């Protein structure tokens, strides 16, 4: 138990640092490791969601005035609709199969960003494209605890201001994870140990946010976008060679 406490604290701190610097990535980072140390895959997904939501809340409290609320509506609604069915559907799968799905998803995401990122400019203006972003995000969030990649593509290509992007992304993550919390309640995702793990992870989150905030303030707009895509790419590479 003591080793698990240290691992959860360290993973949460690193994941929060990544999210504070880039606006996303908590779930991507922590889900590369958490399923291998938690008792079950579903518990790992649930804890990742709770900690990701906590991270988003802490960041949002200091940046609430920058949120672009109009950017959220369709993406959020389609995410919630799809994730409801996926969360209930995935209960029938084994932890081993879901871990396989997670590995494949991370590889595909990294390849997509590497080869097609330069071709996606201007494709998020229609209502249908925003609904598609939310739907894909809902699948990835419900199954893998990482709804970020599609929404990051949408956000960084439609919101030019660095602070507005950061605040809006955190509003997304907090909203998504509150919905997932409701959908997962009563489904065996949360156990009597969850509050204990959450408290440990939250302490790590605060540490990671402290250092992440310093780096975020030090980078300019052009460098910020480079950092966002680099973190996405490195996450995929790390998963590929794990």
**Are 101 and 144 spatial neighbours (Cβ–Cβ below 8 Å)?**
yes
Domain assignment of residue 158, given as a range: 2-240
Beta-carbon contacts of residue 43 (< 8 Å; ≥ 6 apart): 189, 190, 191, 194
How deeply is 160 buried, as exposed, middle or buried, from its count of CB atoms within 10 A (0-12, 13-18, 19+)? Answer: exposed
Of the chain, the end-to-end C-alpha distance in Å amounts to: 24
pLDDT tens over the chain, length 242 residues = 578 889 999 999 999 998 888 888 788 788 878 888 888 877 888 898 899 889 999 999 988 999 998 888 888 889 888 888 877 776 555 555 665 666 676 667 666 655 665 555 556 667 888 888 888 888 877 776 667 777 887 887 788 888 898 999 899 889 888 887 887 776 667 888 888 999 999 999 999 999 998 888 887 666 766 676 666 666 656 555 55
pTM: 0.74
Distance CA 131, CA 153 (A): 13
Task: Compute the Cα dihedral for 203, 29, 171, 164 and give only its sign.
Answer: positive
3-state secondary structure 119-149: HCCCCCCCHHHHHHHHHHHHHHHHHHCCCHH
Domain count within the chain: 1
């Amino acid at each position: 138990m003591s080793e698990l406490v240290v691992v959860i604290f360290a993973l949460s701190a690193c994941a929060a640092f990544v999210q504070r610097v880039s606006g996303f990535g908590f779930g991507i980072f922590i889900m590369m490791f958490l399923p291998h140390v938690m008792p079950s895959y579903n518990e790992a997904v649930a804890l990742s969601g709770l900690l990701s939501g906590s991270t988003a809340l802490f960041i949002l409290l200091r940046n609430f005035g920058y949120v672009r609320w109009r950017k959220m509506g369709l993406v959020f609604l389609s995410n919630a609709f799809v994730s409801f069915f996926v969360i209930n559907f995935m209960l029938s799968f084994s932890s081993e199969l879901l871990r396989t799905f997670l590995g494949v998803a991370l590889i595909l995401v990294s390849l997509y960003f590497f080869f097609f990122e330069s071709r996606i400019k201007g494709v998020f203006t229609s209502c249908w494209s925003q609904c598609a972003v939310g739907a894909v995000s809902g699948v990835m969030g419900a199954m893998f605890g990482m709804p970020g990649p599609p929404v990051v593509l949408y956000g960084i290509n439609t919101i030019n201001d660095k602070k507005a992007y950061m605040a809006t992304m955190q509003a997304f993550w907090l909203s998504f994870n509150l919905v997932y919390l409701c959908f997962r309640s009563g489904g065996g995702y949360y156990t009597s140990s969850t509050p204990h793990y959450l408290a440990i992870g939250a302490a790590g989150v605060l540490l990671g946010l402290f250092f992440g905030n310093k780096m975020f303030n030090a980078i300019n707009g052009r460098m910020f976008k480079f950092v966002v895509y680099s973190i996405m790419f490195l996450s995929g590479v790390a998963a590929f060679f794990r």
